[in-house]
Amino acid sequence: LPVVFTGDGTAAGSYGYTNSGYSVYEEENDKLTESLRTKVSAIKSLSIEIGTEVKNQNKMLSEMENDFDSTGGLLGATMGRLRTLSRGSQTKLLCYMMLFSLFVFFVIYWIIKLR
């Protein structure tokens, strides 16, 4: 059986690879494939963890939004009461504030006196 050679001196049936060279390339490909498989697996688990964290953060944001809405309602009611109070006579408000200040002053004075 005659062997046909190509122009570069290798046999035409071997496609430029020798048996030992081909196995080296095959082993290198297997190592690279395994390395790629582990990296893809790590990225997959990381993306799953990120998805879980995003769901938890969205849930927490939703709860915070509900808390802020209820606080806003409470603050709105308080502001309404303040507006109602401020519509009254200013002298009455000033008198109440002065009485409260005097009360606080006497309580502090009494606490200091007892020590």
- Reference 8, options 16, 86, 27; nearest CA is 16
pLDDT in tens, 6-39: 555 555 555 545 555 678 889 999 999 999 999 9
Alpha carbon distance 9, 35 (integer Å): 36
Domain membership of residue 31 (yes or no) is yes
pLDDT of res. 9:
52
**Structure tokens belonging to residue 11:** 């046999």
What domain range includes position 58?
Answer: 26-88
- Specify the number of domains making up the chain: 1
Do residues 86 and 93 make contact, with C-beta atoms less than 8 angstroms apart? yes
pTM: 0.45
Query: Comparing 1 with 93, which gets the higher pLDDT?
Result: 93
In a domain, 56, yes or no: yes
58 located within any domain: yes
54 in a structural domain = yes
The mean of the pLDDT values for the chain is: 82
- The answer as to whether 21 is a domain residue is no
Q: Judge whether 105 lies within some domain.
A: no
